[in-house]
Structure 1
Amino acid sequence: MTPRKPTLRVERSLQREGYALLAGMDEVGRGALAGPVSVGVVVVDESTRTVPQGVRDSKLLSPQARERMVPKVRRWARAYAVGHASAAEIDELGIMACLRLAGTRALAQLDVVPDLVILDGNHDWLTDPARAGLFAFGDDGPVTPPVRTMIKADMRCSSVAAASVLAKVERDGMLVEMAQEHPHYGWAGNKGYSCKEHLDALDEHGPCVQHRRSWRRFAAAQAEVVEAVEGVEEQAHTGATRADAASTPMEELV
């Protein structure tokens, strides 16, 4: 079955509800072992024309096709941006908080404030739970626009599909650059995701600064290392104790 082409039907319907400036938003890199998580945002308004031909969810396009789409999307969009959260931030804050962080960083780059964000999926990771509904408190921190979640929005909504393309191309470029400094892991090809080449390199070289060390794989490996080190230290201590006992004069032992 041929995937449906994204259109502006959803965006037009929401504009009739009064949301003039609509932002499509999508993330890439959530499940990777290394590199940032990235969030793209593309804003359309009532004057926005039909999306450039060929724009699809980034997963359905070849790398070359995605690269060709970027300048077309930038000319087409009312506004656009990509935000990132690093591997270190993911380790410190967790992936959901970093999706929110990358999304708010993308929004902060825009020269407009969207009336509504269309978010791919069924979970609103953009809105800070501490500032939502009955749980809202305080006035500190950025306030995100209202969010409308939609399953398969990247296949239905032109703005979301375009956002996924921008985020994917920008993050892929970052991983290609990181691969020059850390060539063992094959990031120019696997873009930080799990694959045999990446996993074999991790077994041989261990993780680097760009890896998400809080991920279960690394946490388990770290636990094994700590256990092994403690075992060696215990053996060394036991051996030293026996050696001390063997060298102690008999009169000191009685």
Structure 2
Amino acid sequence: MICGVDEAGKGSVLGPLVVAAVGVTSENVLDGLGVKDSKLVSPKERERLYPLIRAQCKVATIKLDAQEIDAIRTEMTLNAAMARTHARAIDKLSPSCAYVDACDVNSFRYAEMVKGNLVKQCEIVSEHHADVKYPVVSAASIIAKVTRDRAIVTLAKKYGEIGSGYPADPVTIRFLETWIGEHGSPPPIARKSWKTISAMLARKSQKSLMDF
């Protein structure tokens, strides 16, 4: 078996990070499905492909919520955490070879980081933009993206309009600023170790001092 691994939500300031691994006996299994990097596929098309991939391939997913990510980042860098989580997903499928979308500027170094976290022996092919080059990684990117998008919908039902969760999303920023303004601290679904949050807290503190 070979597998592809990708993640969704790595740069998000709120909501979970999802890593997905998709395993196939041959990439021919994916022929005809039309899988592409999730960023190149519409939300409707991702939802259509999601059950087809799950039906024809072995799939493993790992979800890390905001509080878990904050705790992990007190112990290691985000890239090290990604390598460990990629390895956990790969170990769930026990492939002979895994293609991973490199989370480090040095793709060879990232391959060694993943290997160092594996329990079961596996060849690691680490490349930038692997989600575009390899259909099996594209399939993993779709599984990860749909899983995360569904989690964001669930969070929005509880917290209201939160946007996509990314710092570039004005809806997300407005939600965070309003919450911090009302509660004095970030919501439980926010990654407190992110600079976006520390900057907001600093501005609130400065404003409070000026008011005083």
Question: Quick check: TM above 0.5?
Answer: yes
User: Residue in 1 aligned with 2:45?
Assistant: 65
Equivalent in 76, 97, 117 of residue 116 of structure 1: 97
User: Residue in 2 aligned with 1:8?
Assistant: none
Distance 2:9 2:128 in 1: 18
User: Residue in 1 aligned with 2:138?
Assistant: 161
For structure 2, which runs of at least 5 residues remain unmatched after alignment? 181-185
Task: Give CA-to-partner distance per residue, 1:154-192, whole Å, 9 cap, x none.
Answer: 112110000000110011101110111111423xxx2x1
What secondary structure sits across from 1:173 in the alignment? helix
Contact 2:83–2:114 under 8 Å retained in 1: no
Contact 1:83–1:104 under 8 Å retained in 2: no
Aligned length: 197
Contact 1:99–1:125 under 8 Å retained in 2: no
What secondary structure sits across from 2:70 in the alignment? helix
User: Residue in 2 aligned with 1:74?
Assistant: 54
RMSD over aligned Cα atoms: 2.7
Residues 45, 81 of structure 1: alpha-carbon distance in 2 compared, 3 angstrom cutoff: same
User: Residue in 2 aligned with 1:11?
Assistant: none
Residues 226, 41 of structure 1: alpha-carbon distance in 2 compared, 3 angstrom cutoff: same
Amino acid at match of 1:193: Y
- For residue 53 of structure 1, report the CA deviation from its aligned partner: 2.7
RCO higher in 1 or 2 (8 Å CA, sep ≥ 6)? 2
Residues 130, 144 of structure 1: alpha-carbon distance in 2 compared, 3 angstrom cutoff: closer
Alignment of 1:3-152 (within 5 A): 21-46=1-26, 48-77=28-57, 79-94=58-73, 95-110=78-93, 113-121=94-102, 123=107, 125=110, 128=113, 131=116, 142-143=119-120, 145-152=122-129
Query: What is the TM-score when the length of structure 1 is the normalising length?
Result: 0.68
Determine what percentage of the aligned residue pairs are the same residue.
Answer: 29
Amino acid at match of 2:86: G
Amino acid at match of 1:146: E
- For residue 225 of structure 1, report the CA deviation from its aligned partner: 4.6
Contact 2:30–2:136 under 8 Å retained in 1: no
Distance 1:217 1:92 in 2: 17
Structure whose alpha-carbon radius of gyration is higher: 1
- For residue 82 of structure 1, report the CA deviation from its aligned partner: 1.3
For structure 1, which runs of at least 5 residues remain unmatched after alignment? 1-20, 133-140, 236-254
Task: Give CA-to-partner distance per residue, 1:36-90, whole Å, 9 cap, x none.
Answer: 111111112248534333211100111110000012112222x111111121121
Equivalent in 195, 198, 203 of residue 219 of structure 1: 198
Task: Give CA-to-partner distance per residue, 1:106-138, whole Å, 9 cap, x none.
Answer: 33543xx11121111353657547948xxxxxx
Residues 47, 165 of structure 1: alpha-carbon distance in 2 compared, 3 angstrom cutoff: closer
